[in-house]
Amino acid sequence: MKKKVIALLTATIMTAAMAAGCGSAGSAGNDAAASADASTETQDESGADAADTGESGAADDSADASADGKVYHIGICQLVEHPALDEATRGFQEALTEKLGENVTFDLQNAQGEQTNCSTIVTQFVTDGADLILANATAPLQAAAAATNTIPILGTSITDYATALDIADWTGATGTNISGTSDLAPLDEQENMLAELFPDVQKVGILYCSAEANSKYQADVFKASLEEDGIAYEEFTAADSNEIQSVVTSACESCDVLYIPTDNTMASSTELINNIALPAGVPIVAGEEGICAGCGVATLSISYYDIGYTAGEMAYDILVNGADVSTMEIKYAPQVTKEYNADICEQLAITVPDDYVAIAAE
């Protein structure tokens, strides 16, 4: 019985094999064509997928960054709340959120204008193991530099990194765990703006906070430009916000035009400054839009949102692509804009040239 079963199975297998062999030989060309068609369909689908991917670059970045499921924790220390710094922070957060989606978290802390608060905040970021620290303004940058030499630090709203970090031989990059973006507008062009708007100016008062190293840097450059044009000037400095009223009052009594560089202390006190300068009839040329909107007549300004956004792109490059922060050169705003405060210009009967853009009213 077993022999009959084995024989039957053997015959069946041989018959199937012969049939398969005949089918294979007879349809080899058809199989090859079918295989080619399938390959073409696969390539077409792949190409379509690639095209779809190319249409959503931001989604691509997010997908690539989150492939391993890592969530990046960013500590942000902002010196004080005012429009310019707020815009830089917003640009930074939006750039990273666009690229990382839900794979990034932000711990945003405001130092309320106090250096000691900056130190406390960034020290906590280090303790918490932040993946990167954004230092928005000079005091937070200096505090972060003192707190860690390993965690990547990006600055924004920094006028001059060499001054802020006391680097003697500046090459464009810090050579440390720090890089970032600068809010420095062309100071010689700001001085040209002042001379253009007020050709009969007798003396310019340069007003800034003496505790801010970058403000002094701007004042020195601005003074040199005034000297080249033979315009007299006098410096007026306040150690902190408590001295602003008396200092601005003195400046308005001595000068017919004031210049305020990008200065965080002054930027947070524009209402007070305006309440003194406007009734005195003394116009103010400002170093940035936020100050101009509060108390100035004109500015040659950058976009703080843009420099914040650029810092966000740099952060992505460091966190996801492994860029070396120590060799990343400081980046600057791509363009500057001549702007004016329509309300204050009207009250002081100042007419600006046609190439100035009115600052949007809030």
Mean predicted confidence (pLDDT) in 328-332: 97
Q: Number of structural domains, the chain?
A: 2
Instruction: State if pTM tops 0.85.
Output: no
DSSP conformation class of 240: S
Is residue 240 a part of any domain in this protein? yes
Q: Are 19 and 27 in contact (CB under 8 A)?
A: no
Does residue 277 sit in the same domain as residue 128?
Answer: no
- Between CA 327 and CA 120 the distance in angstroms is 28
| DSSP helix/strand/coil, 68 | coil
Does residue 77 sit in the same domain as residue 170?
Answer: yes
Is residue 20 pLDDT above 50, yes or no? no
Angle (nearest 5°) at CA 339 between 233 and 158: 70
Does residue 207 sit in the same domain as residue 142?
Answer: no
- Between CA 156 and CA 9 the distance in angstroms is 82
Backbone torsions φ then ψ of 167, nearest 5 degrees: -100, 120
CATH code of residue 176? 3.40.50.2300
- Between CA 311 and CA 132 the distance in angstroms is 12
Q: Which helix (H) or strand (E) holds 272?
A: helix 270-280
Q: How far is CA 118 from the centre of its chain?
A: 19
Range of the domain at 281: 187-301+336-358
Is residue 53 a part of any domain in this protein? no
- Between CA 170 and CA 308 the distance in angstroms is 23
**Helices (H) then strands (E): counts for the chain:** 15, 13
Is residue 129 a part of any domain in this protein? yes
For residue 42, the model assigns a pLDDT of: 39
Does residue 212 sit in the same domain as residue 258?
Answer: yes
CB count in 10 Å sphere of residue 227:
12
- Strands of 72-78's sheet, edge to edge? 104-110, 72-78, 132-136, 153-158, 178-182, 331-332
Does residue 179 sit in the same domain as residue 195?
Answer: no
Is residue 39 a part of any domain in this protein? no
If phi > 0 it is left, if psi is from -120 to 50 it is alpha, else beta; for residue 351 that is beta
Is residue 167 a part of any domain in this protein? yes
Tell the residue number behind the tokens 């711990």, with chain if given.
107
For the chain, the C-alpha Rg in angstroms (whole number) is 32
Is residue 260 a part of any domain in this protein? yes
Tell the residue number behind the tokens 């932000």, with chain if given.
106
Mean predicted confidence (pLDDT) in 37-57: 39
For residue 339, the model assigns a pLDDT of: 96
Report the chain's mean pLDDT, rounded to a whole number: 85
Is residue 33 a part of any domain in this protein? no
Q: Which helix (H) or strand (E) holds 235?
A: strand 232-238
Beta bridge partners of 234: 205
Is residue 286 a part of any domain in this protein? yes
- Between CA 304 and CA 79 the distance in angstroms is 15
Give the pLDDT band (50/70/90) at residue 68.
low
Does residue 108 sit in the same domain as residue 132?
Answer: yes
Does residue 205 sit in the same domain as residue 319?
Answer: no
| DSSP helix/strand/coil, 193 | helix
Give the model confidence (pLDDT) of 183-194 as tens digits: 998 999 999 999
> What percentage of the chain carries pLDDT values higher than 70?
81
Does residue 147 sit in the same domain as residue 131?
Answer: yes
SS3 content of the chain, % helix, strand, coil (to 5): 55, 15, 30
Diameter of the chain measured on Cα atoms:
126
Give the model confidence (pLDDT) of 263-317 as tens digits: 989 999 999 999 999 999 999 999 999 999 999 999 998 999 999 999 999 999 9
Does residue 227 sit in the same domain as residue 136?
Answer: no
For residue 149, the model assigns a pLDDT of: 97
Give the model confidence (pLDDT) of 34-45 as tens digits: 333 433 333 343
Mean predicted confidence (pLDDT) in 52-63: 42
Does residue 159 sit in the same domain as residue 242?
Answer: no
Q: Which helix (H) or strand (E) holds 334?
A: none
Tokens found for residue 272: 């007070």
Does residue 216 sit in the same domain as residue 344?
Answer: yes
Q: Are strands 203-209 and 232-238 parallel, antiparallel or unpaired?
A: parallel
Does residue 341 sit in the same domain as residue 236?
Answer: yes
For residue 335, the model assigns a pLDDT of: 87
